[in-house]
Structure 1
Amino acid sequence: MHWRRILLPVLFTGIAMAQQGRRVDDAALKNTGKTGDEWITYGGTLAETRYSPLNQINAMNASGLGLEWSFDLGTGGGNQEATPLFWNRTIYAVTNWSVVYAIDARTGKQRWKWDPEINQNAVRGKICCGVVNRGLAIFQGKIIAALNDGRLQALDAETGKPVWEARVSYPQDNYSITMAPRIAKGKVIIGVSGSEYPVRGFFSAFDAETGHFAWKFYTVPGDPSKPFENPALKKAAETWSGQWWKLGGGGTVWDGMAYDPEADLIYIGTGNGGPWPEELRQSKGKDNLYVCSILAVKPDTGELKWYFQPVPGDSWDFDSVQQLMLADVTVKGRQRKVLMQANKDGFYYVLDRVTGQFISGQPFAKVTWAKGLNEETGRPIINPEAHYGAEAVTLSPGPGGAHNWAPMSFNPTTGLVYIPTSTDSSSTFAMDPNFTVKPVGTNIGIIRNPGTPGGPPLPPDVAGATPSTAKLPPPKPPSPPAIGPTPPEGQRGMLVAWDPATQTERWRTPGGGSIGGGTLTTAGGLVFQVINDGRLVIYSADKGEKLHEIQTNLRGGMGPPITYMLDGKQYVAFMGGVGVVVPRDATQTPATPPPATTIFPKLLVFSMDGKAALPSPPPPAQ
């Protein structure tokens, strides 16, 4: 029976391969999203639409959704903003401190855990706006994690054992990483955070198989007395003045990214200028390329093919790092391959993703910093009053933005984009008269009342830096006139359904805001929204009718939802909960037990027949 000795090993090998699931390679990533069975990249697809063709959960039965199981994610210490991934019957999740979990999707039991053992006391003060990690990547049997401390780590997807490690940046240089890595043509694309610090923004590419460095693209020019890294930076230097390179310049890359395999272009959003006021960057009246921009580069080389700058000469913290979404949209009777962004600045932009040509843009929230956009170029028509100095001015949106990192989603059936929106964020700006460049700590350069609506309080300076003693003067009246939809009375957070073809609002409903949670839309005619107050809310995609609501009791620090199919059943999953948050300027982690009111983070998985008990609400504070 010699043939049996040959056949059996082949048979067992085939069974093992089936159990392991197909490899995630470039072809798999290109085609992901067609069936909806998996969720193998941050935005659901390379186009980052967060749309699933699954329809088992639909408007007729959505009210029956319940918790299937939950998984404890440790002590936390910050917002759980990550998008989990689902592949090979396993959910992969990463916590705010970059601890990676592999969880059996059938049982909710841990398969493996990998802790990078980050020096939290050294890194905490280098992260501007909260210790977060927004997600993972999968490629060729490896889970790829970008760590808060600047490392890029590949792990064996089956065992969690390290495969390779690369260094993107160093905390001592004021950099951190908070974004999810993306894959394009076998390369890991990753950017850095920290524009509030004296840094020069960049994003880099690494070989996904080996971890070897491929290329780096700086988003702002360096010292002009030295050779420029590429012609694009030589051009950019013409839009700066003074000694900007001593300030860093900003332009970090901490969220928005997408890839079009047909155009062979990676799209990158860049952050604010640093310091915030253009006058302190010694560049008043200059565009300051490529801060607050959308860049299209070739994945093989990092060569810049085109750029679009929504906010030239930014002085308002209007990063352009919000989600970049690719779709084919019919505009004025012509189908266009577009890139779309609901920008922090309050405008919804539609661009030709092949050429970078501006197609259209309209405000989707209250805007006072600009009168509108040039119809041909998309360049903002800035209100003169918005150029603040020592005198204070109140503007909308504020630094929190009309739309921040909370993901939106696009449903090709309705043709609508669902945007978590702060419809009436505002803030009072005034330049700090006592500003001096600090090599350690934040270099924002403005005075701002932390209680002003429009986002989280500004980060305090870390040890070794001296905060300004200046007081915020009263804003000069009147504020510039507003454009955009009228905000509802007493309701700042809304879910806005936006038609990108006509640049008009179709419906809105209360809930959420620009920061926290996010949306998912499906062929079941649904929009799922996770809101920072702990709720999962399901709406009809066409009219915005509320169909179901679940209070998870994980208030604060919520991540966006995903959906997938396992054993013929559709599931919805997301992360939430904060845990024990240590002050960012602390030099030691407290050893005292956490208070009883602490909400520890969890991964929650829902299904149509889920009967598990939801997390208990914390006891009221004494």
Structure 2
Amino acid sequence: MRLLKLLTLALPAALAACNHTSPPPTSDHDWPNFGGDGREQHYTDLDQVTMATIDQLSLAWYYDLEPGFSVSAPVKGGDKLFTTTGHNHIRAFNAATGELLWEYDPGVRDLAQSPLHMSWGNKGIAWWNERVFMATTDGRVIALDDTTGEPVWQQRQFELTELRNSNGAPRVFDGKVIVGHGGADISPIRGYVTAYDAMTGEQLWRFYTVPGDPSQPPANKAEAVMQPTWQGDWYGKGGGGTAWNSFSYDAELNLIYLGVGNGFPYNHLLRSPGGGDNLFLASIVAVNADTGEYVWHYQVCPAEQWDCTATMDMTIANVELAGKPRKVIMQAPKNGFFYVLDAATGEFISAEKFAKVTWAEKIDPATGRPVENPGIRYQNSGAMFELWPGVQGAHSWLPQAYSQETGLVYLPVMEVGTLIGPLPPGMGGFSANMGALVLPDADLPGSRKSFLKAWDPVAQKAVWSLELPGDWPGGVLATAGGLVFQGRMDGYLKAYNASTGDEVWSYKTVAPIVAPPIAYSVAGQEYISVLTGSGSQGGGILATGNAAYRTDYALPRRVLTFALDGTAQVPSFAMPERVAAIDPDFVPNKEQVMAGAMAFATNACIVCHGMNAIGGGAAPDLRFSAMILDESAFKAVVHDGVLKARGMPPAPQLNDQQVEAIRHYLRMRALQAPAELEALKAGGALPVSDAQPVSTGT
């Protein structure tokens, strides 16, 4: 019966393909928000591109982008496609032809006063009612006219002097622009989410995610819930709770859901000496969409201290539980458990492990609270120990997708372990801020892997699983045509059978793809669009796990848009040969190498240039940069900021000795690079010749 059903569904489309005719046209579909609509399903009900027609999918148009971050999802409104790259550079295209209509650069690099304003890239924009909305990394919220690209209004969410940044995509729900921010890893800021009127820019409400001054009475219901969960002398020393990425919306319930991040410092008892759960850290919080008033919350990591965030996408769907339909919200946060909650009340329904988890045995079905494993809190530990998932999480901001056809969630999963332990006396830099010693990308057995898993949220188990190249899995798109699309670190866009996980289509892009694809239609024609290029943690802190793949900063970054019977072709590309920046007279000094490695890590160089200086495409790989051979040029870039206009922030806090120590460390890493590349080639991970020509296309 199953085979007969599949044949019945596939026959009309197959006949159409044989006759070289397109399926009947559908009405135009927009993709106005990062996840499509407020449900954040990353799903399209367009069904021209199906299992029967996938062989006809080919490139319709492309556009070459500048080097830099290009990890965001496009949005589509009306007849236009909009993209953002790097430091909030917006472009508008004719969605059917790819004609460039306008560009807008908000000048983030000119205004930025902190490296925080220039790091991590920009992950998305939103569209609504003929306007494009962005949240700049330096704290502005801007609405643009979608026809001209001219600003309509601008608001400042936070001041340039504050240790905050905003790199997640804003959302527009029912005429309200919802914006959050980051910064909780480096400062005891008080996180919040702000709603603006999409037409006027007027601030409508602001929801704080951690409490204010405990000496004052609660200002509202949310404050009354939070205050008792922070204990001891914490105010002004602890905080965090930034909601920098994920928001969802249910129009029927009139609820907006906020995904809240980690605390500062990481060490719970330094943050809140008297203990307590520290709400609303690591929580999903539902608020009234009109007023921002608290409705309910669920905390995934009470008293979190492992950079355990709930900032991953929250998917709203109707599922059948115990024989009855139920509206749920589903999330796979960093901590490795897949959660299903009642969308109206926040009632805990179920949670099971979707990755390797050592911090907790299970989630108690009666209380919804984790059952922590003994010794997992590092304050009482005498040494570093393995933590799974590591601080990078089992799932990051790269979104999952939910198929209304299969009822499955398609989940990009990471298996990356961390070494974590108590802070040694006298330790400074970033570790001191966290209150713990953390090696985020430790060389552990079974680590540095990634998967695409089809997860049954009712049965709470994987239906199928695919191991992926590298450890930074791309975002996902599910379609009514029975397909799942995902980009990969090895420079491919792939399509899989949503029911079985079988690969049914691929396109060679040369550059990695980590951004989620989207789907839309114009004049009845369905399109699939994605941006190529590496960035974010996979191009920086987690670059070690992707070293087997060419992720170079200057690989061709493009907007690629596909349709049935597309005729566009991109030019062939010769992979550039990498030559390590080696000075034959250089003799490494052990003490200076160690000092430089520490300065490289603790001054956030690893954020863009990679752990162990292994570049992953977020910024140039400095092992192959001639700049490290010139002392004055290196200082001009690192300390003085001569390349700030190109996205390299200055580091005036470094003295001459520290700058030179970093350069010394990088020169040592350049010496090691050829042998490391040869080892990867010997293992079959890299082409025998780095300059091997690559043909792009299907």
Aligned to 1:104: 94
Aligned to 2:367: 377
Give the direction of change, closer, same or farther, for the CA distance of 1:247–1:513 in structure 2 (3 Å limit): farther
- Residue deviations 1:144-180 (CA, integer Å, cap 9, x gap): 1111111000010111111000111123210000111
Offset of residue 110 of structure 1:
1.1
Give 1:348 shift.
Answer: 0.4
Q: Superposed, which structure 2 residues align to 1:452-471 within 5 Å?
A: 452=442
- The reply on whether 1:222 has 2:222 as its aligned counterpart is no
Deviation at 1:352, TM superposition (A): 0.3
* Distance (whole Å) between structure 2 residues aligned to residue 578 and residue 171 of structure 1: 27
Residues 515, 266 of structure 1: CA spacing in aligned structure 2 closer, same or farther, 3 A cutoff? Answer: farther
Determine whether 1:165 maps to 2:157.
no
Partners of 2:345 and 2:355 in 1: CA distance: 27
The residue correspondences of 1:22-41 to structure 2 (distance < 5 A) are 37-41=29-33
Select the residue among 201, 205, 229 that pairs with 2:191: 201
Q: Secondary structure at the match of 1:44?
A: coil
Q: Secondary structure at the match of 1:386?
A: coil
Alignment RMSD (CA, Å): 2.7
Q: Counterpart of 2:640?
A: none
From 251, 267, 272, give the equivalent of 1:282: 272
Once the two structures are TM-superposed, the CA of residue 228 in structure 1 deviates from its matched residue by: 3.9
Question: Comparing 269-278 with 427-436, which one deviates more in the overlay?
Answer: 427-436
| Equivalent AA in structure 2 for residue 174 of structure 1 | L
Match for residue 232 of structure 2 among 239, 242, 256: 242
Once the two structures are TM-superposed, the CA of residue 555 in structure 1 deviates from its matched residue by 2.5
Equivalent residue for 1:126? Answer: 116
Given the alignment of the two structures, is residue 354 of structure 1 paired with residue 347 of structure 2, yes or no? Answer: no
Inter-CA distance 247–285: structure 2 relative to 1 (3 Å threshold): closer
2:82 maps to which residue?
92
TM-score, scaled relative to structure 1: 0.82
Name the residue aligned to 1:561: 517
- In the superposition, relative to structure 1, how do residues 579 and 126 fare at CA in structure 2: closer, same or farther (>3 Å)? closer
Query: In the superposition, relative to structure 1, how do residues 120 and 546 fare at CA in structure 2: closer, same or farther (>3 Å)?
Result: farther
Ranges in structure 1 where 5+ consecutive residues have no aligned partner = 1-33, 455-486, 585-594
How far 1:59 sits from its partner (Å)? 1.2
After the TM superposition, which residues 382-393 of structure 1 pair with which residues of structure 2 at under 5 Å, given as runs?
A: 382-389=372-379, 390-393=382-385
Which residue, out of 399, 406, 418, partners 1:407?
Answer: 399
Decide which moves more: 134-143 or 302-311. Answer: 134-143
Change beyond 3 A, Cα 1:211–1:453: farther
Aligned match for 2:37, one of 27, 35, 45 = 45
Q: Does 1:311 align with 2:301?
A: yes
Contact 1:495 1:512 in 2 (8 A): no
The alpha-carbon deviation at position 339 of structure 1 amounts to 0.4
Of residues 609, 617, 620, the one that matches 2:565 is 609
Matches of 2:95 and 2:432 in 1, distance apart? Answer: 42
**Comparing 50-59 and 262-271, the one that deviates more:** 50-59
Kindly provide the CA deviation profile for residues 348-378 of structure 1, in whole angstroms up to 9, marking residues without a partner as x: 0000010110011100111110010110222
Q: What amino acid is aligned across from residue 602 of structure 1 in structure 2?
A: R
**Are 2:318 and 2:327, in contact at CA under 8 Å, matched by a contact in 1?**
yes
Out of 436, 446, 449, the residue aligned to residue 439 of structure 2 is 449
Per-residue CA deviations over 1:568-618 (Å, capped at 9, x if unaligned) read 32211011225999x99xxxxxxxxxx997225321111222333346253
Q: Give the 3 Å change call, closer, same or farther, for CA 164–56 of structure 1 in structure 2.
A: same
After TM superposition, give the deviation of residue 453 of structure 1 in Å.
5.6
Question: Given the alignment, which residue of 423, 447, 452 partners 1:495?
Answer: 452
Partner AA of 2:133 in structure 1: I
C-alpha distance 37-169 of structure 1, shift in aligned 2 (>3 A) = same
CA distance in 1, matches of 2:471, 2:140: 28
Q: Deviations over 1:299-338 (max 9, x none)?
A: 2111000000010000111110100000001112121110
What is the rounded CA distance, in whole Å, between the counterparts of 1:150 and 1:193 in structure 2? Answer: 10
Identity, % of aligned positions: 38
Please say if residues 127 and 194 of structure 1, whose CA atoms lie closer than 8 Å, have aligned partners that are also in contact: no
Match of 1:187 among 176, 179, 202: 176
Match in the other structure for 1:233? 223
Paired letter, 1:134: K
Deviation of 1:524 after TM superposition, in Å, equals 0.7
Query: What's 2:424 paired with?
Result: 433
Question: Does the 8 A contact of 2:230 with 2:275 survive in 1?
Answer: no
Q: Deviations over 1:166-201 (max 9, x none)?
A: 111123210000111112232111101111021211
SS state of the match for residue 366, structure 1? coil
Provide the C-alpha distance between the structure 1 equivalents of 2:473 and 2:156, rounded to a whole number of angstroms: 29
Greater mean deviation of Cα atoms: 240-249 or 316-325? 240-249
Residue 58 of structure 1 pairs with residue 14 of structure 2: no
SS at match of 1:238: helix
- Distance change (3 Å), C-alpha of 1:264 and 1:442: farther
Aligned position for 2:144: 155
Partners of 2:171 and 2:178 within 8 A in 1: yes
Tell me how far 1:107 sits from its aligned partner. 2.6
Q: Pick from 504, 527, 542: which aligns with 1:571?
A: 527
- The residue type equivalent to 2:463 in the other structure is R
| Distance change >3 Å, CA 569–CA 124, structure 1 → 2 | farther
Alignment pair present for 1:535 and 2:488 = no
Which residue number in structure 1 is paired with residue 411 of structure 2? Answer: 419
Q: What does residue range 249-260 of structure 1 map to in structure 2 within 5 Å?
A: 249-260=239-250
Contact preservation (8 Å) 1:597, 1:621? no
1:490 shift after superposition: 7.8
> 2:424 and 2:212 mapped to 1: Cα distance?
26
Contact kept? 1:75, 1:579, Cα under 8 Å: no
**C-alpha contact (below 8 Å) 2:71/2:534 kept by paired residues:** no
Matched-pair contact (CA < 8 Å) for 2:67–2:554: no
What amino acid is aligned across from residue 599 of structure 1 in structure 2? L
Contact 1:170 1:176 in 2 (8 A): no
Looking at structure 1, the residues matched to 574 and 303 of structure 2 have their Cα atoms a distance apart, in angstroms, of 46
Verify the 8 A CA contact 1:409 1:418 in the aligned structure 2.
Answer: yes
Cα displacement string for residues 490-545 of structure 1 (whole angstroms, at most 9, x for unaligned residues): 87211000000111110001226774531111111100012233321100000110
Contact 2:392–2:440 (8 Å) recurs in 1? no
Aligned amino acid, residue 148 of structure 1: T
